[in-house]
Structure 1
């Protein structure tokens, strides 16, 4: 009841200011002020003020708003964790299955040796002298090529 009285008084004051502004030959500003002044009166007549007042002072409504906020926070937190961990558990399992299917030899523990399972008896190149010289042969060739 008091909210409707306050809104009606605000509208009456606004219409009075609009009338004074119109008397001063500022018709556009007067029309704008009158439009703003009619908004609280329209809210009273539609019942929006009663609904807002009953919601604002209702503990049940505030508990409901709190629960909605908590649910939203949980939802956003779980989405953020999913994005950081690479998707949902179901999506990760599907990706692991696809990776296992795409693998050439998923059970192999060591790389294969080539065409045959055992190395050939004769080496492909003659053995070089052991020592530090064989480790740097490529580097020495590059340096000789550049004249160093």
Structure 2
């Protein structure tokens, strides 16, 4: 009952503003305001306001909205994880086929310009391990950078 009264008052106020706007000879704006002000009373007369008011105060409806929100968060999380994974779906399928012995993966199919035994570029997103026996080799990169900058 309260929602219907508020919608009726909003429509009456809107029609009043439309009348004042028409009095100022701004007929296009007045017509647009009148159209917007008739929407709340139209919703009341069709029963939409009563339906929405009935839904808004039911805990089961809010539980349903909560479950929809959880499902949406899970869906978006899986999409984000999938995008951060190793390449696109097409690249993963090609890699799976290569692992099974089917077609060759796109990264491995490109021949290098050097000799057949030449080293190829590492695939982005994968890490290579160093096979260094001593921990002094770990600092060789740092020493090279420092020497380059004169430190």
TM-score range for the pair, normalised by the shorter chain length: 0.5 to 0.7
Deviations 1:96-145 (A, max 9, x none): 45335259xxxxxxxxxxxxxxxxxxxxxxxxxxxxxxxxxxxxxxxxxx
Q: 1:99 to 1:11 in 2, by over 3 A?
A: same
Aligned length: 101
* DSSP 3-state at the match of 2:43: helix
Q: Does 1:84 align with 2:81?
A: no
Counterpart of 1:95?
95
Quick check: which has more Rg, 1 or 2? 1
Q: Distance in 2 between matches of 1:64 and 1:25?
A: 49
Q: Distance in 1 between matches of 2:44 and 2:55?
A: 15
Counterpart of 1:68?
68
Moved over 6 A (4+): none
Q: 1:84 to 1:24 in 2, by over 3 A?
A: closer
Q: How does 1:69-148 map to 2 (within 5 A)?
A: 69-86=69-86, 95-96=95-96, 98-101=98-101
Q: Distance in 1 between matches of 2:42 and 2:9?
A: 13
CA RMSD of aligned residues (A): 2.9
Query: TM-score scaled to structure 2, two decimals?
Result: 0.55
- In structure 1, stretches of 5+ residues that fail to align are 104-148
Query: TM-score scaled to structure 1, two decimals?
Result: 0.56
Counterpart of 2:7?
7
Counterpart of 1:144?
none
Deviations 1:59-84 (A, max 9, x none): 11111011011011112212322333
